[in-house]
Amino acid sequence: MHRLALSYWRVFLGPLVTVATVLAIYCSDRYLFTVPNPGAIYFLAVVFAAYIGGVASGLVSAAISLGYAAFHFSLPGQYLQFQPDSLARLYVAAVATPLIAVMVGVLQARAKAALAGEQAARKRVEAANGKLLALRSALDHVDYGIVLLDREMRAQFINGAFRKIWRLPDEVADRKPAFVGLMYHGRDTKAFAVRPDEVDAFVAERMALIRAGDERPLDLRLANGEVVCLSCKVLPEGGRMLTYANVTARVQLAEELEQLATHDAMTGLYNRRQFTTLAEREWGRFRRYGRPLSLLVADIDYFKSINDTYGHDVGDRAIVQVADIFRSNTRTSDVVARIGGEEFALLLPETGLADACALAERLRETVSACSIIVNGVPVSLTISIGASEARHDINEIADLLRQTDSALYGAKRAGRNRVSVADPAHTSARPAIQKPSTAA
């Protein structure tokens, strides 16, 4: 309402000023001094009216000015009768005054529109800046890292979470570094869980993925044990938005589930299912390259008697102790598994039968030298072991396992606490090393 009233006042202000100007000229002519040519004053009044109130106000002021000019230039006592030079002046005023009113009014309207447009644009910029500041503030308080890169792969925004994850100083982040600089900062601070001789290749590979716009999530392991999931989103103008989410809990849960699915809960050795998977893989390598491959199957002697005499808790302790001995006396490349209650399998890549039998004997001796203390009384343990070597006349790993099982039963029949080797010619067991049988 206030703006509407002000607009109407501006429309009438110009004509009022023009009337006041005309009255001032009239009074001056009558009582003070004669104004020889008031046309310039009329023009100023019209210009003022058009500038203040627009074209309509200017034309009204022009009409007022022309009316007084007709009176002013008329012969004394003869209204609208003019001398030639006065008539010429009147014609000029009749053409120029409305034209000036229109021109100034149009310019005023355009200036007003331009000013309004500028104000609207400024308000839009201020609103956008406000939204941008609010967005930046929000992104600075999320719990995952965010980096915005331009098309030149330079960081335009780095939020607080990213700076914290990578221990990036504010003065470095505020300089808008290149993304490769951020990667090398991680290298220099030893943030990556990567070997020193592999870190440069690691950085180069990650840079290539970002430049290519690969949007597949990528897990990055940090030196502090945490895992961060990197996601890349290609922006319309060619930049990149990178997010770094801490997925340590998710990865740990997945690893725990994988551990439960592939390992025996009691001993920590591979379970039968995982042993079969890994054994098939090694069998494929044997069939392809002909490399040596041997298999041992071990069983705790008189295990049922141990359970019946001392209880299942002692039986479990016996299984764990034998598993620990197997684990500490084998290589990381060996596949050691608990495939049954008290039965174990050891698949030995790059190992011939003679070396497999030597290992089996060491394991047997180590187990027989140990004992379990039950109520202050030592209870001795022994194991029987069957051994065999992969051959090309064996069709599959299951056949090798059956042959080795047969060798194990041969050791049991021969008196236990011994190693028995499968006979390739008859697929029956023959004792490799004879030892006195010892009951637990």
Shared-domain flag, residues 313 and 342 = yes
Residue 258 lies in a domain: no
Which tokens sit at 318?
């016996």
Q: What integer is the mean pLDDT of 158-167?
A: 89
In a domain, 125, yes or no: no
The per-residue pLDDT for 88 is 74
Residue 210, CB-side half-sphere exposure with 13 Å CA sphere:
27
Query: 291 with 218, same domain?
Result: no
pLDDT at 137: 78
Listed residues 251, 279, 294: the one ending a domain: 251
Is residue 133 assigned to a domain? no
In this prediction, residue 26 carries a pLDDT of 73
**Same structural domain, 317 and 217:** no
pLDDT tens digits along 274-301 = 999 999 999 999 999 999 999 999 999 9
> Domain limits at 78?
2-119
Instruction: Tell me: do 114 and 150 sit in the same domain.
Output: no
Domain-located, residue 158: yes
Considering the domain architecture, whether residues 153 and 296 belong to the same structural domain is answered as: no
pLDDT of 13 reads: 72
Question: Are 273 and 420 in the same domain?
Answer: yes
- For residues 404 and 336, membership in a common domain is answered with yes
Provide the CA 332 distance to its chain's centre, in angstroms: 35
Top-ranked range on mean pLDDT: pick from 33-42, 79-88, 123-132: 123-132
Last residue of a domain, one of 219, 251, 283: 251
In a domain, 289, yes or no: yes
User: In a 3-state reduction of DSSP, which class is residue 431?
Assistant: strand
Give the CATH number, domain containing residue 285.
3.30.70.270
The count of domains in the chain is 3
The answer to whether the beta carbons of residues 161 and 146 sit under 8 Å apart is: yes
Q: Identify whether residues 225 and 282 lie together within a single domain.
A: no
What is the DSSP secondary-structure string of 243-298? EEEE-HHHHHHHHHHHHHHHB-TTT-SB-HHHHHHHHHHHHHHHHHH---EEEEEE
Identify the CATH number of the domain in which residue 221 sits.
3.30.450.20
Among 203, 226, 251, the domain boundary falls at 251
Is the residue at 136 inside a domain?
no
